[in-house]
Structure 1
Amino acid sequence: MASILTRIMLPTPPSLYVNYSSLITTAVISFIGLSEAFGSHLGYSKFFNLGSQNQNYRVKLSSRIGMLLLYTPSFLAALASLVLLLPHHKDARFLLLSLALTIHYFKRDFEVLFIHKYSGGMALGSAILISLSYFSSTAHLIYFHYKLYPTQLGKNQHDNQQPNIDMKYIGVLLFLIGISGNFYHHFLLSKLRKNGEKEKSYKIPRGGLFGLVICPHYLFEIIEFVGFCFISQTLYSFCFTIGTIFYLMGRSYATRKWYLSKFEDFPKEVKALVPFVF
Structure 2
Amino acid sequence: MFQACVYQEPSSMYITAMSVMILLTTACLALLEFIGKHLQYSKFWNVGSKKSHQILLSSKTGMLLLYTPAFLAGLASFWIFPDGGTRFMMVQFAVTFHFLKRDLEVLFLHKFSGFMVLDSAIIISVSYFTAAASMIYLQYLTLGFQEPLVDLKYLGLLLFLLGICGNFYHHCLLSKLREKNEKGYKIPRGGLFSIVICPHYLFETIIFLGISLISQTPFSYSTALGVALYLAARSYATRKWYLSKFENFPKNVKSLVPYVF
Q: Same fold (TM over 0.5)?
A: yes
When normalised by structure 1's length, the TM-score is 0.92
1:21 maps to 2:18:
yes
Question: Once superposed, which parts of structure 1, at least 4 consecutive aligned residues long, lie more than 4 Å away?
Answer: none
Kept after mapping to 2: 8 A contact 1:141/1:237: yes
Distance 1:254 1:260 in 2: 10
> Equivalences for 1:196-207 in 2 at 5 Å?
196-197=181-182, 199=183, 201-207=184-190
- Structure number with greater Rg is 1
1:161 maps to 2:158:
no
Kept after mapping to 1: 8 A contact 2:66/2:122: yes
> Equivalences for 1:164-179 in 2 at 5 Å?
164-179=149-164
Counterpart in the other structure of 1:186: 171
Of 115, 138, 147, the match for 1:121: 115
**Does the residue aligned with 1:131 lie in a helix, a strand or coil?**
helix
**Does the residue aligned with 2:69 lie in a helix, a strand or coil?**
helix
Paired amino acid for 2:2: L
1:13 is displaced (CA, Å) by 2.1
Counterpart in the other structure of 2:248: 265
1:155-214 C-alpha deviation (Å, 9 max, x unpaired): xxxx241101000000000000000000000010000110142x2x11000000000000
Distance 1:241 1:232 in 2: 11
1:263 is displaced (CA, Å) by 0.1
Counterpart in the other structure of 2:90: 96
Of 33, 38, 43, the match for 2:35: 38
1:248 maps to 2:231:
yes
When normalised by structure 2's length, the TM-score is 0.98
Distance 2:103 2:170 in 1: 16
1:56 is displaced (CA, Å) by 2.4
Paired amino acid for 1:123: V
1:52-79 C-alpha deviation (Å, 9 max, x unpaired): 3x23211000011110011011101101
Distance 2:96 2:131 in 1: 13
Paired amino acid for 1:195: K
Counterpart in the other structure of 1:70: 66
Kept after mapping to 1: 8 A contact 2:87/2:153: yes
Kept after mapping to 2: 8 A contact 1:42/1:48: yes
Distance of aligned partners of 1:203 and 1:45 in 2 relative to their CA distance in 1, 3 Å threshold? same
Counterpart in the other structure of 1:57: 53
Of 230, 235, 240, the match for 2:213: 230
Paired amino acid for 1:172: L
Distance 1:126 1:240 in 2: 19
Paired amino acid for 1:85: F
1:111-134 C-alpha deviation (Å, 9 max, x unpaired): 000011111110111111110000
Distance 2:48 2:181 in 1: 30
**Does the residue aligned with 2:110 lie in a helix, a strand or coil?**
coil
Residue correspondences, number: 261
Kept after mapping to 1: 8 A contact 2:10/2:142: no
1:111 maps to 2:105:
yes
Distance 2:221 2:48 in 1: 30
Of 124, 139, 158, the match for 1:130: 124
**Does the residue aligned with 2:192 lie in a helix, a strand or coil?**
coil
Paired amino acid for 2:24: A
Give me the identity figure in percent.
Answer: 54
1:21 is displaced (CA, Å) by 1.4
Aligned-pair RMSD on alpha carbons?
1.0
Counterpart in the other structure of 1:153: none
Distance 1:160 1:244 in 2: 27
1:83 is displaced (CA, Å) by 2.7
